[in-house]
Structure formats: C-alpha cells, structure tokens
Amino acid sequence: MRIQFVVILLLLNLFHHAIKAADNLLWMSYSQIQSDYYGDGNSSLKPDGFNFGYMGDLSEQWQISFNYGKFTSADSWSIEGVENRDLFNQARTESQSIGLGITWLIDDYSISFDYAQQEYTENAISRMPRLDEEISSDDQFYSVSLDSFVGFENWILGWGLGSQYSDSKNKTQQIYRTDPVIMSNSQFDQTRWNVFLDLVIGSSYAFDDFDLLPALSLSWNSELSGDGEPLLVVTRDGERRVFTQFDYRNNNTYRLPDSGLWLISFTFDWKNNWSTSLTYGQNFSADIEVSSWSVDLSVEF
C-alpha cells in the first residue's frame, strides 16, 4: 500500500502472526479508499482493488514477506454552480504495487528491510475551462525499521521505528481545448527521506467457535529532507495549484510526510488456520483527507 495502508496491514498481519507463531501466512484483502479528488467537497473518488501477500519463516531468525496490489477508480461529478447536466468533471486512476521484505529476528526485536515499487496513472478532465490531463509516475521505496512486540496476559503491544527513502519519477501532459489547441508536457523527479513511528495494541478473546483479536494501530511520518521541483498543474476546476508527487496523490500513498494514519481492525480466528479481518482507517494532519476500509482473508500453515 505502494501503500501506507498496506504497510500497516502488514504490521497487523505481523501482530496476528506473532500471536499464532505459524511458519507461513497467505493473505488476500479487498480494499476501498475514498478521497475528495477536486477538493470541492463534491467529488469523492473511491479507488478499490485487491492486495495479495505472503509472510513466511526462512529459519528461526529470518522471515520474508511479499505483497502485490492493484487499484482502479473512475467517476464523474457535476460542476458546482452549473445547472447544465451535460457539463461535468471526471477522473480515472490506476495503480499497481509490489513489495518485498526480509526481517531479522533477534530475541524480542526484529529489524526489517523493505523495498516497494509503484506505478500510477491518472487521467482527469476539467470542463471549465476544458482541460485534459494525464499524470504518470514510477515510485521506488526503500525502508528499514526496528520492531518489537511485548505480551502480557491477553494483551500485546507492538511498535516500529524506521526510516524510508522515496524516489519518484513523474510525467504530465496537459491539453487545453482552446482554438488553437495548446499542449504542454513536463517531467520532474523527486526524492524524500522520512522517519516514521508505528504503534499497535491488541488483545485476544476466546469463544467456542472462534477467537476475536481487536487491534488499534497509529502511525506518524515526518520528513527529514526532500529534493526535487514541484509540478504546477491547472486542473481542479481551473484553480492553479502547486503539487508535488507526494502532495497530490489521492490513493493509498505509502508514507505521506508530516501526517499520520490510524487503523482499527477486528480479526476472527476460526481455529482451523483460517482467519478473517475487518479494517477501517483514516489519515490525519494531511492536506487531503483519505479514509479506507478492507476485508482480509488469511490462512496459516
């Protein structure tokens, strides 16, 4: 969760994995993310898609993980103050991501090294003025973190402290439907260092047919440094705004700088190596408000 959302899902799966102590975990989740695309309170874009993941033990001290996700969305909205129903704004997005990780287990601690790659394409049409825009990007993420879980009675507390380096390459094309037609193209690269803190607390309750594992996670990300020129675009109902690769991204950004994310999840362990999780999350202190929910199915073996 390409994706901060996926990153925290992996942390929650690690939390569940730590309780069950199984050698391997396969999981699949369906997720939907919602954001105010044009920033006018009228355009709610809802990318949705699937994530697939694996987590397994190579030895008593080494663990590997893998995840893949693909999200798409398409919608249109009426223009505020315009009564003509034939005039509307619209947008379409598509993203796919892949992540690899290896974890070194040391007593009650673990050190994780993660790599993720994401491709993203966005097409938007603004009717007033008429502007067609396409934005594409290729992002690379490198992360290292120190994590630990502490258990007491039926409670468990986990934390992670780490740093992430992001390298983003972006292209944009804008076509102004004037007479004559005006076309502009631009390209820019951007790098960024972030530090992050993840916290998760959960508990376990036993029932006849299943165990219930509720959990709450919090994540905060702070920017240490960044390099790269911002991209000036003219979409969003003709209002000129300066965006960067990490500021305008509306779906499932990995580590949005100087902002946080909270997630609450409920995992139902069916006592036959299968489990189901329901998760809801929302960011905070970010320029764009994004919420998400997910249904997760996993099996341990």
Q: What is the pLDDT of residues 132-148, one digit of tens each?
A: 888 888 888 899 999 88
* pLDDT exceeds cutoff 60 at 181: yes
Report cis status (omega within 30 of 0) of the bond before 214. Answer: no
- What whole-number distance in Å separates Cα of residue 276 and Cα of residue 254? 24
Confidence of residue 212 (pLDDT cuts 50, 70, 90): very high
Q: What is the CATH number of domain 4-300?
A: 2.40.128.130
Q: Which two tokens stand for residue 169?
A: 């390459």
Start-to-end C-alpha separation, the chain? 25
- The pLDDT of residue 270: 92
Tally of CB atoms within 10 A around 185: 10
* pLDDT exceeds cutoff 50 at 249: no
pLDDT, mean over the chain: 77
**β-strand 182-203 against 205-206: which pairing, if any?**
unpaired
Q: What global pTM score does this model have?
A: 0.79
- The pLDDT of residue 240: 43
The percent of residues above 70 in pLDDT, for the chain, comes to 75
* pLDDT exceeds cutoff 70 at 276: yes
Q: Which is more confidently placed, 124 or 275?
A: 275
- CB burial of residue 247 (10 Å; 0-12, 13-18, 19+): middle
Confidence of residue 161 (pLDDT cuts 50, 70, 90): very high
The listed range with the strongest mean pLDDT (66-80, 81-95, 99-113) is 99-113
* pLDDT exceeds cutoff 50 at 247: no
Domain ranges of the chain: 4-300
- What whole-number distance in Å separates Cα of residue 19 and Cα of residue 284? 29
- The pLDDT of residue 111: 92
- The pLDDT of residue 285: 81
- The pLDDT of residue 250: 31
Confidence of residue 233 (pLDDT cuts 50, 70, 90): very low
- The pLDDT of residue 169: 86
Per-residue pLDDT averaged across 273-284, rounded?
A: 88
